[in-house]
Amino acid sequence: MTITAHGYAAQAPAAPLAPFSFERRDPQPNDVAIDILFCGVCHSDLHTARGEWDGTLYPCVPGHEIVGRVAAVGNDVSKFTAGDIVGVGCMVDSCGQCPSCTDGEEQYCETTGFVGTYNGPDPVLGGHTFGGYSDHIVVDQGFVLKIGHDEKDLAAVAPLLCAGITTYSPLKHWKVGPGQKVGIVGLGGLGHMGVKIAAALGAEVYVFSTSPNKRDDARRLGATDLIVSKDADAMAAHANSFDFILNTVAASHDLDAFTALLKRDGTMTLVGVPEHAHPSPSVANLIFKRRAIAGSLIGGIAETQEMLDFCQAHGLTADIEMIDIADIETAYARMVKSDVKYRFVIDLASLKTAA
């Protein structure tokens, strides 16, 4: 049995997102059925909908920063009951057996790979999964998160499900904390959460940006200052001084400008996944100070819960601009121009009025 869902989908790389109906499964014994209240708009949604990465399956219903209310639960669900406020991030399933899954790092699932909230293989209905730009979703309870924030903040909590965990996980893994100088490259959805979380962890934070007009915001979000990455003198003033740099940029760019700012043994971790490859980085820049360039993918379910609880305890949510779903293409166009302050969030109530 299935239930018809309504949402917005891209039908092809160049086609604008438009209303689309599809089927969701009836809740299985371990499933949670969720009425979606809010869904954040991640740059990955845009990369996928527009076919900028290989492998987009159409129709594509993006959205993996989901907050909603539990409508019903399957017979074997113990963690949730109807009425609970919950979240769903980038994953809805994984093999559960491999070393990464048993370590709680489901995002690195080694057998099947994790099942994406959208554009993944649907394990029950076949075909592919559809994301949160829709009215409801049905998810295994193991991939549903508890939300403790105030109900008035729920729209601003949605971006934590991807932007929050994608920045929290590497900041924790590379042990960012007091006494460290940390750089965040790119002040967009991920970057602004990276600033808030790194500051809450006690680090001294600098933003590297191509947008000088974001300086006041960078400071308000918790950074000491914003360094304009195109200003060679401003960059040179910080040579060899950073313990850790988190690079969230969604476009191909010169990495050497940033590795040169790392101390001996410093690491720059990449989380942005640009459509076109970065120019190959300078090896000399790395070996003469034993610097590293690393990567990091979202975060596991347990760590996502830890991040949500951390953000609640520290009063952290995203800075958002709420939109109606009918305005998604305008939001995408602004995102491409780095004109986002700092995450668009779709109010799914607007689906009812959308054509």
* DSSP track, 24-78: EEPP-TTEEEEEEEEEE--HHHHHHHTT-STT--SSB-----EEEEEEEE-TT--
Judged by phi (left if over 0) then psi (alpha if -120 to 50, else beta), residue 77 lies in beta
- Interacting positions 256-285 with ligand NAP (CB under 6 A): 271-274
Among 5, 138, 249, 262, binds ligand NAP (CB under 6 A): 249
Residue 156 found at the interface with ligand NAP (CB under 6 A) = no
Which burial class, exposed, middle or buried, applies to 103 when counting CB atoms under 10 A from its CB (0-12, 13-18, 19+)? exposed
Of these partners, ligand NAP, Zn ion, none, which one is at the site of residue 116 (CB under 5 to 8 Å by kind)? Answer: none
Rounded to a whole number of angstroms, the minimum distance from the CB of residue 238 to ligand NAP is: 16
Among 297, 323, 326, 354, binds ligand NAP (CB under 6 A): 297
| Interacting residue ranges for Zn ion, rule: CB under 5 A | 42, 44, 162
In the bound state, the residue with its beta carbon closest to Zn ion is 42
Could you tell me the CA-to-CA distances from 54 to 14, 143, 189 in Å, in that order?
Answer: 14, 25, 23
Residue 313 or 333 with smaller CB distance to ligand NAP: 333
Contact status, residue 24 vs residue 2, Cβ threshold 8 Å: yes
Q: Which residues pair with 269 in a beta bridge?
A: 246, 294
Residue 64 or 238 with smaller CB distance to Zn ion: 64
Residue 44 or 141 with smaller CB distance to ligand NAP: 44
**What distance, in Å, lies between the first and last C-alpha atoms of the chain?**
27
Residue 214 found at the interface with ligand NAP (CB under 6 A) = yes
Rounded to a whole number of angstroms, the minimum distance from the CB of residue 33 to ligand NAP is: 26
Residue 210 found at the interface with ligand NAP (CB under 6 A) = yes
Q: Among candidates 187, 132, 196, 117, which has minimal Cα distance to 164?
A: 196
User: In the complex, which residues of this chain contact ligand NAP (CB under 6 A)?
Assistant: 42-44, 47, 162, 166, 186-191, 209-211, 214, 248-251, 253, 271-274, 296-298, 335, 338, 340
